[in-house]
Structures are given as structure tokens and as C-alpha cells.
Amino acid sequence: MSEIKVASRYAKSLLDLALEQNALEEIKTDMQFFVQTLKANTELQAVLKNPIIPLGKKNAITTAIFAAKVHKTTQAFLKIVIDKGRADIIYGTAKEFLNQYNSYKKIFKAKVTSATALTQDSIDKITAVVKAAVKGEVVLSTYVDASLIGGFILTVGDKQVDTSIASSLAKLKKEFAQGVTA
């Protein structure tokens, strides 16, 4: 079974357990903390993925780092996953938990890339339009890419709206090239 499927199943189990114990927000915060910690510490990622390091040592390390800072359910979950010899998927499981949490709460991540920095008014308008379209909460990330020349590219999930001038020029160039050779 692929690593992604396994991580997804573990994440679903943790989400169900968090809901059952009315600890969803605490465990979400724990998973965010865990992901941030592993992103910042590649050595810790390497230790968890290394099959040579004994499971007891991995448990001792995660307990020392996280036990005092996370919910008891999160700590128990980490221990179970490590004891099952699946420490290599903990990072993926934490990220997948956050994705499933967002789905459960109907929180959508959107990204807008524009040629220049957007004003707060523009950001608010884009957020409102996306919010109405997805019928949920929206977390909008903004990026600047001067190569777009003008306009913007909005991405929500697997959908994308490209109103950039650079894209329009590329389409026009392609149409002219096809028109000349036809």
C-alpha cells in the first residue's frame, strides 16, 4: 500500500478519535506544531524515517520533544504509530490530518499570484468571491510575480483562473504561430 494511502488512513483515524474525544482543535494545533517542528528539523525527520534506529529510541525522542507540549491523545497516537513501525509516515500523516481537518471544517486554501502587491481591498474582494463560490471559509495566500506583467492567477484546490497579461500574450503568440503555418 502506498505511503500516502497509509498516512491518509492514520490521519482519518486520528481525526475520528479527536472528534470522539472533543479534542479536535487541540489535536489540530498539535499537528501544526509537529509539522512545523519537523520542517525546521530535518535531522528529526531522518531519525523517524531511519529503520535502523530502534522503536524505543524513537519513542523516547518524540516523548522528550513533544510530551509536555501536546495533548495526551496526540502523544498516544505518536507512540502507537512508532510501535507499529510506521514512524516514517508520521510527517505525512500530520500533514494529511491538517488537510482532512480543513475538509471537515470546509476551509479552503486559495492562492493568488499577481504582478504587483494587492491592496487589502482587493484581497478582501477576492476572498469574498472565493468564499461565495466554495461555500466555506477561505485562507488566501498572496504572492507577487512581476513576470505576469499584469492581472493575476487564482488557484483554489485543483481549479485555476489565469487573467494575467503574460498568459494572454502567450495564447496570442500561439494563435499567430498556428495561423501563419496553417
pLDDT tens-digit readout, 51-84: 999 999 999 999 999 999 999 999 999 999 999 9
Integer CA distances (angstroms), 83 to 41, 80, 98, 179, in order: 22, 5, 22, 64
The CA distance from 69 to 77, in Å, is 14
Residue that has been written with the C-alpha cell 500533514 in this structure: 95
What percent of the chain clears pLDDT 70, i.e. is strictly above it?
A: 98
Please state the rounded mean pLDDT for residues 149-164. 91
The CA distance from 128 to 96, in Å, is 27
153: left (phi over 0), alpha (psi -120 to 50) or beta: beta
Name which of 94, 127, 136 is nearest 10 in CA terms.
94
The pTM (predicted TM-score) of the whole model is: 0.81
At 26, is the pLDDT very low, low, confident or very high (cuts 50, 70, 90)? very high
| Radius of gyration of the chain, Cα coordinates, nearest whole angstrom | 22
Whether residue 143 contacts residue 113, with contact meaning beta carbons closer than 8 Å, is answered with yes
H-helix segments, 41-164: 42-49, 55-66, 72-83, 90-105, 120-134
> What is the Cβ-side half-sphere exposure of residue 106, based on CA atoms within 13 angstroms?
8
Q: Does the pLDDT value for residue 100 go beyond 70?
A: yes
139 three-state secondary structure: strand
In terms of pLDDT, which residue wins out, 82 or 174? Answer: 82
27 three-state secondary structure: helix
Please state the rounded mean pLDDT for residues 100-129. 94
Residue 13 grid cell:
483515524
At 180, is the pLDDT very low, low, confident or very high (cuts 50, 70, 90)? low
